[in-house]
Amino acid sequence: MKKTFNCIAFLDEAAENTRVRLADLSVRQQVAYWRGRNKEILAEQKRLLKEKDDAHAFGFVPRLQALRKTRKSFDCVRMKHEAQERIQEKLEGKSPQEQEAYLRKRSRELLKHNETQQDLRSHGQG
């Protein structure tokens, strides 16, 4: 039986179209694009919740209702976005060499911090 729809090819093509669409945008413009897409997806989820017959057929409603009932005390995605924005602000206007130097320095600082934390934990347990 021959496939009429290739899911992987479809996803690869969609990803490539997105890469092309975002290629000439600045990081801030890309962030704005993804935030807009996120709002569109949330709006679609709300629409599906209202049209429960169609949404139930695909199992959307129970999953969305379960997600909405869950209250997070920590939002990892928000924290990641905020960190990325802070880094982008630090790198803005710097040459690629300056950006690389900054990222290498911060990486070394983070490794040193992690080693210190591990030392503290291992001494506290002994």
pLDDT tens digits for range 58-92: 666 676 666 666 666 778 888 898 999 999 999 99
Q: Quote the mean pLDDT of the chain.
A: 83
Window from 43-52, 87-96, 97-106 with minimum mean pLDDT: 43-52
Torsion, Cα 105 106 112 116, to 10 degrees, reads 150
Confidence class for position 45, pLDDT limits 50, 70, 90: confident
Give residue for tokens 């669409």: 21
Domain range annotation of the chain: 7-71, 74-126
> pTM value?
0.40
The one-letter code for the residue type at 98 is E
